[in-house]
Amino acid sequence: MSVRMHAWGSDFDELASQVRAMMNEMESPNFFRSHAPDPWVPRLNLYERPDRFVLCVELAGVPHDQVQVLAEGRVLLLRGVRRKPVLPEDPTNVSVHVMEIDSGPFQRRLPLPRDVIVEAITTAYREGLLWITLPRDTGPQDL
């Protein structure tokens, strides 16, 4: 029986180099960033009923007039902007240690099922949650 041993040298050296780079970044004064590195995407829940789908989109801190909901063909487009939160009192001379709340522009594209009646889509905005009702064409009903 023959056993081959993996040569760790180059792989281990590369890993050690990456760990050193991360440690150096953590020691830098800019380690805690004041913005998300990537554009953010709002989280959502999707509910289904026989006559409609309902989307709930989490948009805490986004004024309702900063949100657009558009139907482009068979795609629902959500977009808007969330500003960075600022201290309600004097925001000067403040050190930020952690900033996890995403801010900036957002956009989310969702394919619409074929049976959604695009012209009948409605929205409601309550307590930072955007509710989008997507009525379904249920076809002829048997009497």
Summarised one tens digit per residue, pLDDT across range 100-139 is 889 999 999 999 999 999 999 999 999 999 999 999 998 8
The structural domains of the chain, with segments of one domain joined by +, span: 40-135
Task: Look up the pTM and report it.
Answer: 0.69
Confidence of residue 1 (pLDDT cuts 50, 70, 90): low
pLDDT tens by residue, 12-61: 677 777 777 777 766 666 555 555 456 789 999 999 999 999 999 999 99
Tokens of 130: 């955007």
Tokens of 47: 């509910």
Whole-number Å distance between alpha carbons of 76 and 24: 43
**Strands (E) located in the chain:** 44-49, 52-58, 67-72, 75-82, 104-111, 122-126, 129-135
Whole-Å CA distances, 47 to 2, 53, 55, 57, 92: 57, 6, 6, 11, 43
Tell the CATH topology of 40-135. Answer: Immunoglobulin-like (2.60.40)
